[in-house]
């Protein structure tokens, strides 16, 4: 691994091997979703506790101050919406040159494994890895399930994570599930945990986060959940 790649990964993952990524990219397919109508305002109380911010180029330019910013993981896939026919029909929307121009520490894209667009998604991931590796930029693959939330089980997510890693992702973001150690145990690159099941309390969020961290996740990538929790930070 070249110096540039190592340096960028070290910006995202702390010396203790842990990380907290703050995703505010939901608008790329959901529009102004709850708690993220004004992403720049939403993150103000919690941004100091994040190690990196996951967002699109539009929100980055419009909402995030350039002075003393957190490392950026730039979302580079999209092309679908909640009102469209199939969320899985994504393509690459942002070039590596644009990521370099924005001084991104990494780029991220979704893969919908098992969907009608699986082949397209995985080829796009491979092409993105090829381009990103040329400039020493790590790729984070996001194992997306669209509207099919029942797919969030260990066997399926373990397969998704392994495939993403095999194609060249340096980090994989995936959902928490029961038996999460089966997901992390079969993935040769770091796994970062996204949301899990629908929760009714902060305590339930903390419980699934704790379970995932004990079972191999190096950190969390929680967006709207982080914004709505009522835990008092120091």
Q: Answer yes or no: 170 catalytic.
A: no
- Rounded CA-CA distance 140/80 in Å is 19
Maximum C-alpha span of the chain: 46
Phi and psi at residue 213, in whole multiples of 5°? -70, -35
Q: Which of 6, 127, 173, 215 is catalytic?
A: 173
Instruction: Give the gyration radius of the chain's Cα atoms.
Output: 16
52: β partners: 21
- Rounded CA-CA distance 77/95 in Å is 10
- Rounded CA-CA distance 143/169 in Å is 11
| Tokens read off for 224 | 């709207």
Residues designated as active site: 173
């Amino acid at each position: 691994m070249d110096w540039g790649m190592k340096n960028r990964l070290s910006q995202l993952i702390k010396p203790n091997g842990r990380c907290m990524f703050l995703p505010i990219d939901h608008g790329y397919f959901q529009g102004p979703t709850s708690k993220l109508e004004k992403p720049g305002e939403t993150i103000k109380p919690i941004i100091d506790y994040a190690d990196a911010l996951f967002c699109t180029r539009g929100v980055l330019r419009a909402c995030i101050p350039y002075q003393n910013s957190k490392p950026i993981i730039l979302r580079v896939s999209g092309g679908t919406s909640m009102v469209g026919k199939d969320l899985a029909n994504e393509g690459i929307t942002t070039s590596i040159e644009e990521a370099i121009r924005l001084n991104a520490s990494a780029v991220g894209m979704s893969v919908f494994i098992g969907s009608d667009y699986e082949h397209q998604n995985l080829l796009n991931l491979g092409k993105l890895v090829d381009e990103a590796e040329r400039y020493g930029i790590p790729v984070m693959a996001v194992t997306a399930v669209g509207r099919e939330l029942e797919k969030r089980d260990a066997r399926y997510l373990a397969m998704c994570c392994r495939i993403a890693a095999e194609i060249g992702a340096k980090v994989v973001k995936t959902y928490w599930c029961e038996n999460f150690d089966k997901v992390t145990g079969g993935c040769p690159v770091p796994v970062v945990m996204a949301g899990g099941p629908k929760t009714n309390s902060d305590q339930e969020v903390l419980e699934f986060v704790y379970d995932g961290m004990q079972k191999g996740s190096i950190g969390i990538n929680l967006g709207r959940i982080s914004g709505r929790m009522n835990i008092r930070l120091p």
